[in-house]
Amino acid sequence: MTYPSVYPTGATVYDSSRCFNGYTVFQAKEHGALIIDMNGGEVKLWRGLHGFPNKLLPGGQILGHTGERSTLYGMQDYRDLIQVDWDGKVVWKFNKYEFIDDPGEEPQWMARVHHDFQREGNPVGYYVPGMAPQIDSGKTMLLGHKNTRCKAISDKNLLDDTVYEVSWDGDVLWEWKCSDHFEEFGFREDARNALSRDPNMRPCGGGMGDWMHLNSMSLLGPNKWFDAGDARFHPDNIIVDGRETNIIFIISKATGEIVWKVGPYYDHTPEKDLGWIIGQHHAHMIPRGLPGEGNILVYDNGGWAGYGGCHPASPAGTKNVLRDYSRVLEFDPVSLKIVWQYTPQEAGLVHPTDSNRLYSPFISSAQRLPNGNTLITEGSGGRLIEVTAGYELVWEYISPYWGKHFNMNMVYRAYRYPYEYIPQVDVPQEVDIKPINVVDFRVEGASPRGARSESLVEGVVPYQTSSALCVLSDTDDGEQ
């Protein structure tokens, strides 16, 4: 991706009458976990609290991590999961999943948690009316890592994904290991060959194959499908998605079996109507009590992912499916029909490959809000937006926080919560922000738009600007 040298940060669009107004939490790079209001005002910073992601709890508490394992030996292994109160006091901590003794490092227990976790009481970690996560008791489900060998996948050392549940007191109550279920994913022979050669090898720890790369995990929670008798959608079952394999699947909590999935292929029915889902993030079932409840919501990144046949863009058969734009999909998990989507076209562009207004080839997320809007994290550009069911942009915020190690203002995942989640501060004043007229806006010292002298060339029809560009410019007279 390329960035202009000048662009606004902070809140840039806000229609208070059509937004689900509240606080938004995200990781402000190395600074810590940040809460902003609808105008982009910085309400609270927990300095040094890592977020992969951060999740707010009722009463002004927050979940996050103290830090990451050395990248010499681990890949996105966070040392622990902690719960912190408003004043920064740690009120709960878990790290005793695996004892790690890395060369040159202090031996220590680690949670090896990455990408997601869920506290009992709420299946998805974002605001759901009537489903508050527990704050002083309850079990916690974590997405974790373990190193393993599995000859069915490859003869190389693998960085395997696990899902495990811990009690409030820190006892591991349940565990599921991804590589144990390799045969259930339905990889074709060319994909199996590509995986064997290169299971997405990472340099850490002398080389590890991050073959599946799960990046989200949540419970299904109460839903209409289970109520109607479909046991695949038991409320305790767990939905996860594999970024490197283009697979979204549901794990039976009772048996560990994969009871529902889409992918890794979308070229035949029943998945064909979905189109190719590529490198996706944050696949989850919309919880009961929110518009679209029971449907699957996912940020379909596009970019590059998957294993299969070799071709010029994928000479080794890895990352062999490509698309240069993102889309947010909501689909029925039974019929596999798209219910709602937000692509560059819905964002106001002429063609879906006009990706400059919706494209994040990694990270990112989507949250269904109680008013039917969707909060979208377009992560690679640090852009957070709220759009209506009719595709209208009613809020936009660009993160001003750039990382030390990557010259980007990336945001992994953001969540919106109601004002009552933080009783420690007064509800902020809400001030509408009209979109900037991007055609006529100039920085100080720049000349305005418009030629000093004009002549109409004989026999030439004057250029007419497209209506799409007129809408984007928001000019009063429609001229460009």
| C-alpha–C-alpha distance, residues 342 and 327, integer Å | 5
pLDDT in tens, 435-468: 999 889 999 999 999 999 999 999 998 876 544 4
pLDDT value of position 47: 98
pLDDT at residue number 385: 98
Q: How far is CA 202 from CA 71, 112, 154, 206, 301, in A?
A: 10, 16, 14, 8, 21
Taking a C-beta distance cutoff of 8 angstroms, is the pair 119, 140 a contact? Answer: yes
Which of these, 157, 243, 253, 247, lies nearest to 207 by C-alpha position? 157
% of the chain exceeding 70 in pLDDT: 94
Has residue 41 got a pLDDT over 60? yes
Give CA torsion, residues 251, 255, 256, 258, to 10 deg.
-50
Instruction: Give me the pLDDT at residue 463, please.
Output: 73
Give the per-residue pLDDT at 405. 67
pLDDT of residue 323: 95
Q: Answer yes or no: is pLDDT of 477 > 60.
A: no
Instruction: For residue range 323-367, list pLDDT tens digits in order.
Output: 999 999 999 999 999 999 999 989 887 665 565 679 999 999 999
The pLDDT tens digits of the residues spanning 284-314 come to: 999 999 999 999 999 999 999 999 999 999 9
Beta bridge partners of 263: none
Out of 3.40.50.720, 2.120.10.30, 3.40.710.10, 3.20.20.100, the CATH code matching 17-425 is: 2.120.10.30
Quick check: 475 pLDDT over 50? Answer: no
Question: Which tokens sit at 219?
Answer: 């419970």
DSSP strands (E only) in 189-295: 201-202, 208-209, 214-219, 238-242, 247-251, 258-262, 281-285
Q: What are phi and psi of 227, to 5 degrees?
A: -60, -30
Average pLDDT over residues 91-106: 97
> Mind listing the pLDDT tens digit for each residue in 195-239?
999 999 999 989 999 999 999 999 999 999 999 999 999 999 999
For 318-368, where are the alpha helices, taking DSSP H only? none
Banded model confidence at residue 472, pLDDT cuts 50, 70, 90 = very low
pLDDT at 231: 98
Determine the pLDDT at residue 7: 82
Q: What is the pLDDT of residues 395-409, one digit of tens each?
A: 999 999 998 766 789
pLDDT digits (tens, 9 = 90+) for 368-383: 999 999 999 999 999 9
Q: Cβ distance 264 to 307 under 8 Å? A: yes
Provide the mean pLDDT of the chain. 93
Closest CA to 339 of 385, 265, 273, 269: 273
pLDDT-wise least confident of 10-14, 443-447, 469-473: 469-473
Coil, strand or helix: which one is 402? coil
Q: Which helix (H) or strand (E) holds 13?
A: strand 10-14
Q: How far is CA 198 from the centre of its chain?
A: 25
Mean pLDDT of 262-275: 95
Q: Which two tokens stand for residue 27?
A: 């990781």
pLDDT at 355: 54
Q: What are the DSSP calls for 45-108, one per residue?
A: EEET-EEEEEEEETTTEEEEES-B--TTT-SS-BS-EEEE-TTS-EEEEE-TTEEE--TTS--E
pLDDT at 181 > cutoff 90: yes
Neighbouring residues of 442: CB distance < 8 A, sequence distance ≥ 6: 448, 449
pLDDT at residue 263 greater than cutoff 60: yes
Residue 476 pLDDT exceeds 70: no
Matching residue, tokens 């982009």: 40
- What is the rounded average pLDDT of the residues 32-54? 98
